[in-house]
Chain A
Amino acid sequence: DTEVTQTPKHLVMGMTNKKSLKCEQHMGHRAMYWYKQKAKKPPELMFVYSYEKLSINESVPSRFSPECPNSSLLNLHLHALQPEDSALYLCASSYYNEQFFGPGTRLTVL
């Protein structure tokens, strides 16, 4: 089973809202990732967690706050987003090198 789940599928939020994206995997993968993808562009790495610790932050604005409560869960907390943050947010996990993506959350910021 190579399933990564993400909730919600769609999210519409105002610029003053606080919301969270959730990602879950039960494959025993020890690395988890957040990506942002705009239309017709490749995924853009935001954060990497390795063994539940943040190992890479690709200079992401502080309005995005990741959290890894345990080895199966990854959250992305959103606050004071801008309309240009509207995108598909992808979670992924990997054991060694093979990385598997979840279905994504389509985020619209009004």
Chain B
Amino acid sequence: QKEVEQNSGPLSVPEGAIASLNCTYSDRGSQSFFWYRQYSGKSPELIMFIYSNGDKEDGRFTAQLNKASQYVSLLIRDSQPSDSATYLCAVNDGNTPLVFGKGTRLSVIA
């Protein structure tokens, strides 16, 4: 059974701080890693994906992947109240459907 684990939160950070969201996965054959942001009552929005070990930056977001440790993270710099949402980690091996974690609820306090 392929599993993706996330801390459900809530993770509370002050405005302007760095929010760090973590995800571990069980399948060593996983090749693709995704972060989705989901606001309450809305659909998931793809905000980052990463395929190789290391860091990938896009604006205030940085995804970090460590395949040896089976660990992927999302850093949000200069967190804003508008970043308050549930963040879903999703993983697959490139041939099978995405496996989602249960999501981490982030609350950015103004």
Contacts and interface: CB of A to CB of B under 8 A. Distances in A.
Interface of A: 2, 33, 41-43, 45, 48, 56, 88, 90, 97-104
A45 to B, nearest CB: 5
Interface of B: 32, 34, 36, 42-46, 49, 88, 90, 92, 94, 97-98, 100-103
B97 A42 contact: no
A43 B45 CA distance: 12
Contacts of A100: 46
B93 to A, nearest CB: 10
B43 A102 contact: yes
B44 A48 contact: no
A103 B98 contact: no
B43 A99 contact: no
Contacts of A43: 44, 88, 100
B34 A48 contact: no
Give the top 4 A-B pairs by smallest Cβ distance, nearest first: A42-B100, A101-B43, A104-B43, A97-B32
A99 B101 contact: no
A45 B94 contact: no
Contacts of B36: 101
A97 B94 contact: yes
B46 A90 contact: no
Contacts of B102: 41-42
A97 B32 CA distance: 7
Contacts of A33: 97
Contacts of B45: 101
Contact of A99 (B42, B94, B98, B103): B98
Pick from A41, A43, A88, A103 the residue with the most CB of B within 10 Å: A43
A33 B101 CA distance: 18
